[in-house]
A and B are shown apart, each in its own frame.
Chain A
Amino acid sequence: MRVIGKPFAKVDAGPKVTGQATYADDIVLPRTLHCRILRSPHPHARILSIDTSAARRIPGVKAVITGVELPVKFGILPVTQDERALEHEKVRYVGDPIAAVAATDEETAAAACDAIKVEYEVLDPVMTIEDALKPSKDERIQDYGGPNNIHKLVALEFGDLEGGFARADHIREDLFFFQGNTHLPMEQHSAIANFVDGKVTLWSSTQVVHYVHRALAKVLELPMNRIRVVGASHGGGFGGKTDPFAHEIIVCKLAMITGRPVKCTLTREEVFYAHRGRHPVLMWVRTGATKDGRITAMHFRTALDGGAYGSYGVASTFYTGALQPVTYDIPAYKFEGCRVFTNKPPCGPKRGHGTPQPRFALELHLEKIARDLGLDPVEMKRLNFVKPMSRTVNWLRVTSCGLEECTDKVVRASGYAKRERRPGHGMGFAISSYLSGAGTAIYWNDMPHSEVQIKVDRGGVTAYCGAMDIGQGSDSVLAAIVAEELGLEPRDVRLVTADSDSTPIDLGSYSSRVTFMAGNAALEAAKKMRAMLSEAVEASGKKYEDVSFEQASVLAEARFGTLVTAGSYTPPKIAGPFKGSGVGPSPAYSYSACVVDLDADERTGLVHINKVWIAHDVGRAINPLLVEGQVEGSVYMGIGEALMEEQEFRKGLHKWPSMLEYKSPTFLDVPDIETFIVETNDPEGPYGAKEAGQGPLLPVIPAVNAAVFDALGVWIDETPVTPEKIVEALRRKGKGEPARVGPGAFPAIPYPPSIKVEPPPKDLSVTTAAI
């Protein structure tokens, strides 16, 4: 391999280090109008009237719209079409959009928003999971779901749960709480739309060009062929730009009304309201184990604080129960999940989507069981690791699995087993797994999830794909694959990506799907192109390697005419035979293991992380430099969630919608990170590759909490681990109370009777994909 496995610079590094990359807010079109959005100051209120007359009279104001102009509801999931671009009947969180103005400059647009008069009937807000489970004082937040403010209830049971618990020598129950937090991309969301000749074009900082395209067609009531969506250079997503957003629809509508380009860039405060971040999740888990540490049964309950709208919430709810059996061989498993609506910005997918919360709980819970049984936590976990080429009790298909190797790497390198015992010093170990792309699309269809077309033309090669590079390097992966197959360098491959007019479908940058899915599509297209080029060269009596690419392309174009090939990727149909089985299946799972070394001060509660060792089974590193970058970034974000990042609300208001007060790690807070790339050569991944962007975040958080226990003997059973919580736990320990800070009870939730599912045959055989 000349390109695959080599640390090539990213193909877009040049524009990014010179300021030439064009992000959405950098796009300037002649006569552009600027849009500002009026947002609700109330967490929960009925809108009685909206008077825009004064705003319309302000010089420079070109259009003012309210929800009356955009009444059609939308939402990322077909089952929860509950959002409006502008709400004219009811607002459900502080920041809910009500009206929008297009004006000649941003200040005029803002002044016009101030001049809009809205009459509200203020309703009692619902701000906690506990309150959402009770009847509303005034009225429920959404008119679907239920009872009360419950959005979704799920209950699934696999295998013989009662028998499993009966076989156990030891049964333990624990409660955990994972606090909500947000993506905090450096780039504020931005979108600019143009309307020319009856066609709308939108440039946006989105992760999912195709899903935005669908939402626009629905709300604007235009056929998809009248709309073009282009992903601009992307300033960071982490899941936060994976929904279609109000401002994207609004600028299109305003462009259609005014006949001029309209741009909207959210303020940082508005980015906190757009949110769709990590759900706060309360968790209860009960596990049975034999005295030597084998898990016999597990019962896992979750309650998700969803915020005001559905977003990805139904999927998030299933994800809080889906992946526990993907790392541990759990013979009997019951999962009950619940998502509630509250009057807060909607939660959705953040890096790890719905799985970091249960991973946090699961890793700490097993650590506690190991200590109960007098076993080494690493060895007890290892005893229960899933095996490669197996099926889990909940019908998920595990192909390649590098858990053992990942564990060996970090345990050995960190010296975990022989760690230094000094006061305030500790180490923690945890593992995790994540999807290499969701096995099912957001909306049910049988079409491919990713398609790539390649054009070769007089020595030039261009690859076309809908994939959206959000900084993770998906463009570089596409270029590397095409270059490898055609015998070129990545920089020789021109790319056209993320443009609904000129590129074939790719579902977008979410669920860590692009390397696996677009990569396989690119590989197929590139192999076909290579075959045509080789055939033409050989017909001339030469070998492909002995002629220049330009010569090969000329010979092939002369022989075949225009040179175009295509490849597509459709995930295997592997979902289990039960309702709700669509969330969790993936063509392959990545695996990670992590050790955190820290010092915790028992007087101040301050935690200093000394070092993190992390090993990640990426299947095969197409570009090890980019894999390391994804792993390091995941560790960083995990440290942020473990130690400081949290969203809190007071009287319906976000307490700190600013980058200064929402604490995130700086250069001074991130320790040395030692990364090990583990390659297991997945049978279906392109060149054996799996995901790298999300999985490595997951083990970091529980490893921090486990290390705090190792250091001070106190359990912080929630995130983030703040100095206040450590000091409080030590105070309780000192008084002889349980040395723990965490939730005290799990509320009574009316889960339905569980759907009972027979587990699948455990063994699996998969043949290497014929590509």
Chain B
Amino acid sequence: MRQELEREVEHVLVSFDVNGELTDLRVPVHKTLLEVLREDMGLTGTKHGCELGECGTCTVLVDGKPQLSCLVLPVQVQHRAITTIEGMADGSRLHPLQQAFAELGAAQCGYCTPGILLAARSLLDDNPKPSRDEIREALAGNLCRCTGYVKILQAVELASTRLT
């Protein structure tokens, strides 16, 4: 039997801002941010593809910077601001990136889409007019198996044009 079942699982109190809402939670210390978002907070828009930091699918923003939520423990992001896909639109008004992804067919199965949208948002926040190579570089950690990336690149460029 695994050792952790024979002893009390250590819990921690964590406090962070998720999509503008202050959140206090008591979670097992080893549970990842990905698991806490999906399982404890019901934010299932954040997806998982490997849970090993290999595919980029679970990307969220921590203080505006992309992080792989499967490799982050909640204690590492105490008192930080986390943005998930659920926090990207302004109410029911889509973010220009979301709008562009929808219009140009940049989401096929849509499973990698939340992670890519957040990574792209971080890019545009820092660099509102990225070149195509800068977009490729910024999104290179996010895999997509459906689109061949073409429509995603076009959608980021379209959103960039509309935002500036």
Q: Which A residues are closer than 8 A to B by beta carbons?
A: 7, 9-10, 12-23, 25-26, 28, 54, 58-59, 107-108, 110-111, 114-115, 183-188, 233-238, 267-268, 470-473, 625-626, 628-629, 632-637, 658-660, 664, 666-668, 670, 673
Do B85 and A18 have beta carbons less than 8 Å apart? yes
Do B45 and A19 have beta carbons less than 8 Å apart? yes
Known: A18-B85, A659-B55. A673 touches B150 (CB 8 A): yes
* CB-contact partner of A471 in B42, B48, B88, B108, under 8 A: B108
Do A19 and B114 have beta carbons less than 8 Å apart? yes
Q: Specify which chain A residues have a CB less than 8 angstroms from the CB of B144 in the assembled complex.
A: 186
Q: Specify which chain A residues have a CB less than 8 angstroms from the CB of B89 in the assembled complex.
A: 18
Do A268 and B108 have beta carbons less than 8 Å apart? no
Interface-central residue, B51, B101, B105, B144, by most chain A CB under 10 Å: B105
* CB-contact partner of B140 in A19, A59, A636, A668, under 8 A: A668
Do A632 and B85 have beta carbons less than 8 Å apart? no
B84 within 8 A of A: yes
Q: Specify which chain A residues have a CB less than 8 angstroms from the CB of B117 in the assembled complex.
A: 17
Known: A18-B89, A19-B44. A667 touches B55 (CB 8 A): no
Q: Specify which chain A residues have a CB less than 8 angstroms from the CB of B150 in the assembled complex.
A: 628, 632, 636, 670, 673
Q: Specify which chain A residues have a CB less than 8 angstroms from the CB of B5 in the assembled complex.
A: 58-59, 107-108, 111
Interface-central residue, A59, A115, A184, A666, by most chain B CB under 10 Å: A666
* CB-contact partner of A658 in B4, B50, B153, under 8 A: B50
Interface-central residue, B46, B55, B98, B107, by most chain A CB under 10 Å: B107
Known: A17-B98, A111-B2. A186 touches B145 (CB 8 A): yes
Do B146 and A471 have beta carbons less than 8 Å apart? yes
Do B110 and A668 have beta carbons less than 8 Å apart? no
Known: A473-B108, A664-B143. A18 touches B98 (CB 8 A): yes
User: Which B residue's beta carbon lies closest to that of A471?
Assistant: B109
B63 within 8 A of A: no
B54 within 8 A of A: yes
For chain B, residues 77 to 121, give those with C-beta under 8 angstroms from any C-beta of chain A. 84-86, 88-89, 94, 98-99, 101-105, 107-114, 117
Pick 16 A–B contacts, CB within 8 A, sort by A. Answer: A9-B105, A13-B103, A18-B85, A19-B45, A21-B110, A26-B38, A186-B49, A233-B110, A238-B145, A472-B108, A632-B150, A632-B151, A633-B108, A636-B149, A659-B54, A666-B143
Do B49 and A637 have beta carbons less than 8 Å apart? no
* CB-contact partner of A19 in B86, B135, B139, B153, under 8 A: B86
Do A667 and B86 have beta carbons less than 8 Å apart? no
Do B94 and A666 have beta carbons less than 8 Å apart? no
User: Complex Cα distance A203/B111, Å?
Assistant: 17
Interface-central residue, B46, B49, B112, B142, by most chain A CB under 10 Å: B49
Do A17 and B111 have beta carbons less than 8 Å apart? no
B13 within 8 A of A: no
Q: Specify which chain A residues have a CB less than 8 angstroms from the CB of B107 in the assembled complex.
A: 10, 13, 16-17
Q: Is the interface of A mostly helix, strand, loop or mixed?
A: loop
User: Complex Cα distance A518/B149, Å?
Assistant: 28
User: Which A residue's beta carbon lies closest to that of B99?
Assistant: A17
For residue A41, give the distance in angstroms from its CB to the closest CB of chain B: 17
For residue B110, give the distance in angstroms from its CB to the closest CB of chain A: 3
A-B pairs with lowest CB-CB distance, top 7: A19-B45, A471-B109, A636-B148, A16-B110, A235-B111, A19-B85, A13-B102
User: Complex Cα distance A673/B52, Å?
Assistant: 31
Do B50 and A659 have beta carbons less than 8 Å apart? yes
Do B149 and A268 have beta carbons less than 8 Å apart? no
* CB-contact partner of B148 in A187, A188, A635, A658, under 8 A: A635
* CB-contact partner of B109 in A9, A187, A660, under 8 A: A187
Q: Specify which chain A residues have a CB less than 8 angstroms from the CB of B136 in the assembled complex.
A: 667-668
Interface-central residue, A19, A234, A634, by most chain B CB under 10 Å: A19
* CB-contact partner of A188 in B49, B88, B112, B142, under 8 A: B49
Do B148 and A114 have beta carbons less than 8 Å apart? no
User: Complex Cα distance A670/B88, Å?
Assistant: 28
For residue B19, give the distance in angstroms from its CB to the closest CB of chain A: 11
For residue A717, give the distance in angstroms from its CB to the closest CB of chain B: 26
Known: A10-B107, A659-B54. A667 touches B140 (CB 8 A): yes
* CB-contact partner of B105 in A186, A235, A629, A668, under 8 A: A629
Interface-central residue, A186, A629, A659, by most chain B CB under 10 Å: A186
Known: A10-B102, A14-B102, A633-B146. A268 touches B111 (CB 8 A): no
For chain B, residues 1 to 35, give those with C-beta under 8 angstroms from any C-beta of chain A. 1-2, 4-5
* CB-contact partner of A659 in B49, B86, B98, B152, under 8 A: B49
For residue A249, give the distance in angstroms from its CB to the closest CB of chain B: 23
For residue A28, give the distance in angstroms from its CB to the closest CB of chain B: 7
For residue B148, give the distance in angstroms from its CB to the closest CB of chain A: 3
B57 within 8 A of A: yes
Interface-central residue, B43, B146, B148, by most chain A CB under 10 Å: B148
For residue B147, give the distance in angstroms from its CB to the closest CB of chain A: 6
User: Complex Cα distance A628/B88, Å?
Assistant: 27
For residue B86, give the distance in angstroms from its CB to the closest CB of chain A: 5
User: Which B residue's beta carbon lies closest to that of A108?
Assistant: B5
User: Complex Cα distance A299/B137, Å?
Assistant: 47
Do B147 and A633 have beta carbons less than 8 Å apart? yes
Known: A58-B5, A666-B143. A470 touches B109 (CB 8 A): yes
User: Complex Cα distance A237/B110, Å?
Assistant: 12
Q: Specify which chain B residues have a CB less than 8 angstroms from the CB of A23 in the assembled complex.
A: 44, 47, 111
Known: A13-B101, A54-B1. A186 touches B88 (CB 8 A): no
Q: Specify which chain B residues have a CB less than 8 angstroms from the CB of A184 in the assembled complex.
A: 145
Q: Specify which chain B residues have a CB less than 8 angstroms from the CB of A115 in the assembled complex.
A: 1
Do B55 and A18 have beta carbons less than 8 Å apart? no
Do B88 and A18 have beta carbons less than 8 Å apart? yes
Do B94 and A17 have beta carbons less than 8 Å apart? yes
User: Complex Cα distance A580/B88, Å?
Assistant: 54
Known: A115-B1, A236-B145, A471-B146. A186 touches B109 (CB 8 A): yes
User: Which A residue's beta carbon lies closest to that of B45?
Assistant: A19
Do A235 and B47 have beta carbons less than 8 Å apart? yes
For residue B163, give the distance in angstroms from its CB to the closest CB of chain A: 16
User: Complex Cα distance A184/B111, Å?
Assistant: 12
Q: Specify which chain A residues have a CB less than 8 angstroms from the CB of B153 in the assembled complex.
A: 667
Q: Specify which chain A residues have a CB less than 8 angstroms from the CB of B86 in the assembled complex.
A: 18-19
Known: A667-B149, A668-B140, A670-B148. A234 touches B109 (CB 8 A): yes
Do A236 and B111 have beta carbons less than 8 Å apart? yes
Known: A14-B102, A114-B1. A28 touches B143 (CB 8 A): no
User: Complex Cα distance A664/B49, Å?
Assistant: 14
Q: Specify which chain B residues have a CB less than 8 angstroms from the CB of A658 in the assembled complex.
A: 50, 52, 54
Q: Specify which chain B residues have a CB less than 8 angstroms from the CB of A18 in the assembled complex.
A: 45, 85-86, 88-89, 94, 98
Do B102 and A9 have beta carbons less than 8 Å apart? yes
Known: A238-B145, A470-B109, A659-B50. A111 touches B114 (CB 8 A): no
User: Complex Cα distance A59/B137, Å?
Assistant: 48
Do B143 and A235 have beta carbons less than 8 Å apart? no
User: Complex Cα distance A110/B102, Å?
Assistant: 39
For residue B106, give the distance in angstroms from its CB to the closest CB of chain A: 8
Q: Specify which chain A residues have a CB less than 8 angstroms from the CB of B57 in the assembled complex.
A: 186
Q: Specify which chain A residues have a CB less than 8 angstroms from the CB of B101 in the assembled complex.
A: 13, 17
